[in-house]
Amino acid sequence: MRMSDGVEWAAHACALLAALPEGVGVSAALLAEFNDLPPAYMAKHMQALARAGVVTSARGAGGGYRLARPASEVTLWDIVEAVEGPEPAFRCTEIRQKGPCAAKPAECRHPCQIAAAFHAAEKAWRGSLKAVSLASILADLARKQSPARRAELLAWLETKL
């Protein structure tokens, strides 16, 4: 089981968007360049974020992506859901209904104990991700990152906008 790298990329991209002044659009190409990522694939993931309503997009010169809502209202789960899709990692294939001792469909109105346990575990996982917003990430970062470093990053971005 492995989460696609796109989730990490999208999360960092969204954190960058959240750190920017309001109303500024950033192209997918620039977001990719910032972390030395493949531009084409980065663009795909930004499209996924746009479809999911996490960011808004604007075409044409001076366009690009920006957050669709305040940073405090975008969670890591929103980003995972946008990039990886909403489906759970564990998908019960109902093998109890197969084989020589197959259970009848009527006996399977409820998920089996195993599926229930996995679903509960994933719910805990999602809950943990929903508790972390871009705002809380930036707040943590501000505490650990030197102001000089932060200024350096913003300065580079300004030269490109």
Site residues for its own copies per CB under 8 A: 1-5, 7-9, 11-12, 15, 33-37, 76, 84, 87, 89-93, 95-96, 98-103, 107, 110, 113-115, 117-118, 120-122, 124-129, 132, 137, 140-141, 144, 149, 152-153, 156
What's the one-letter identity of residue 111? P
Complex with its own copies: residue 44 or 156, whichever CB lies closer: 156
User: DSSP labels for 126-156?
Assistant: HHHHHT-BHHHHHHHHHHHS-HHHHHHHHHH
End-to-end CA distance of the chain, in Å?
A: 38
Strand ranges for the chain from DSSP E:
55-58, 64-67
Tokens at residue 17, please? Answer: 């968007």
Report how many residues bind DNA under the rule CB under 7 A: 28
Q: Which lies closer to its own copies via its Cβ, residue 61 or residue 155?
A: 155
Nearer CB in complex with its own copies: 113/147? 113
